[in-house]
Structure 1
Amino acid sequence: MATTSSVGNSTSNSGVNQALQSGSASAADLQSNFLKMLVTQMTNQDPLNPMDNSQLTSQLAQISTVSGLQTMNETMTQLLTQTAAGRAMDSAALIGKTVMVPGSEVSVAGGVPGKIGVDVPTTADSVIVQVLDDKGNVVRTIDMKGQKAGVHDVAWDGKNDAGNLVADGDYAFKVTATADGKDVSPIALIYGKVQAISGDSTGVLVDLGDGKTANVDDVRRIS
């Protein structure tokens, strides 16, 4: 009796598993390749030890899963693209508005400083703001005492600790906040006027001019 070569279940399974892991083939390609392997397997199976129904069912279920997952992935990608486009259009309403976003730079012009703020994630019994010059020296310390959780404006009149107006220019500021002696990770905030809306891989961005941008999800206040 002539012998026949056996194409085992592992061969077909391996091909499907590799396709699942690489994600390089389309659902149609996977189905075509799978059917070719299955026909070859059934044609060359040992007639004395044919593939049982459970093997066939298992392999058909695998290719069905691959096809279903790829279709679902394509649908999700389309939905995400449409959602991103919709968010960008909705965010266009922010153009011309003043927003408060994370940042730690503030400018002084004509003796008047830009508006700054702080986001306190949880109620703190101590909130301290320090304004620094371009050399990193502290020119003003503002004690905001205890503050409840939320977004707060920082009142800085543009003066240093000696009560004199600081020179016009760019400054930085940092915020520390504690509750029972433990840091509560406050976030320094700046104000800016939205000039345009754009987007990148991180999402929708608000353009505040002078090269400053922020993710629209980081906007803490709109006025």
Structure 2
Amino acid sequence: MATVSNLSLIKQYDPTAKTAAATDPTSTKDMTQNFLKMLTAQLQNQDPMNPTDTASMTTQLAQLNMVDGINQMKSTMTSLLSQIQSSDFMNYSSSVGKYAMVAGKSMSFDGQTPINLGAQLANDVSSVLATITDANGNVVAQETLGAHSAGMVDFSWDGTDSNGQPVAAGKYNIALSALSTEGNTFTPDSYVASMVAAIGKDSNKNALLTLADGRAVAPTDIAQWIA
């Protein structure tokens, strides 16, 4: 006997038909809706002689609403942080071409432009000695800065050696030694200025300044701006 199939019972794909919105059982909104459905069902089916105590369930609902509020606050703060970072990035773009003083010991001398330097003194000193060496560690020049109060001491190297002769372009280093007013010797932190060549962002989308000498520094690393 032949079998007759009822093709009309087979569901046909309709691209215009609306699909049910996907739900996320872990989201606070869906959890709250499911919680209310369960609470309503429990109240409808409770024993009139032994009514359900809804205090704990109401407390849980309040906690869910609190979590939802915290999530919304987090989203708002993330958006605000993104706007602040974008604004900072645009502001720092105007620093391209300016000189930033940043902690360091290595200098890139182009053969003609004097290099602005700094010594961060933790104490009052009776003298500070700055020593310039080449890439091989040979002493090129020394300069005595004299007595200074605690703080940043600005000075510069004009690219000449101890005999006043110009040196070749290349990499040089600076070393500092200071004598405190109490007679103690210590090593101050040295700072080297370099022109800002470009502005970028780090992995956290914070502004990152690339200096002409190859260093990449955060804005918070800059001790001084030099015109």
TM-score by length of 2: 0.66
Are residues 1:207 and 2:210 paired? yes
CA distance 1:153–1:33, change in 2 (3 Å) = farther
Partner of 1:77: 78
Distance 2:71 2:134 in 1: 55
Distance 1:96 1:168 in 2: 20
1:164-183 pair list within 5 angstroms: 166-176=167-177, 180=182, 181=184
1:49-128 pair list within 5 angstroms: 50-53=52-55, 55-110=56-111, 114-120=115-121, 122-125=122-125, 127-128=128-129
Cα offset for 1:202? 6.6
Distance 1:213 1:104 in 2: 15
Distance 2:175 2:36 in 1: 64
Partner of 2:148: 147
CA distance 1:202–1:171, change in 2 (3 Å) = farther
Classify the secondary structure of the residue corresponding to 1:195: strand
Post-superposition Cα deviations, 1:50-75, rounded to whole Å, max 9, x if no partner, equal 4352x234212211221111110000
Distance 1:194 1:213 in 2: 9
Q: Percent identity over the alignment?
A: 34
1:217 maps to amino acid: T
Are residues 1:217 and 2:220 paired? yes
1:108 maps to amino acid: F
CA distance 1:29–1:182, change in 2 (3 Å) = farther
Q: Is the 8 A contact 2:134 2:171 kept in 1?
A: yes
CA distance 1:97–1:108, change in 2 (3 Å) = closer
Q: Is the 8 A contact 2:210 2:216 kept in 1?
A: yes
Classify the secondary structure of the residue corresponding to 1:194: strand
Q: Is the 8 A contact 1:198 1:204 kept in 2?
A: yes
2:80 maps to amino acid: L
Give 1 or 2: higher helix fraction: 1
Deviates more, 1:98-107 or 1:163-172: 163-172
Q: Is the 8 A contact 2:115 2:158 kept in 1?
A: no
Are residues 1:131 and 2:137 paired? no
Partner of 1:3: none
Cα offset for 1:150? 3.6
Partner of 2:198: 196
1:211 maps to amino acid: G
Unmatched segments (≥5 aa) in structure 2: 1-25
Partner of 2:23: none
CA distance 1:170–1:56, change in 2 (3 Å) = same
CA distance 1:111–1:44, change in 2 (3 Å) = same
Cα offset for 1:214? 1.9
Structure of higher CA gyration radius? 2
Unmatched segments (≥5 aa) in structure 1: 1-24
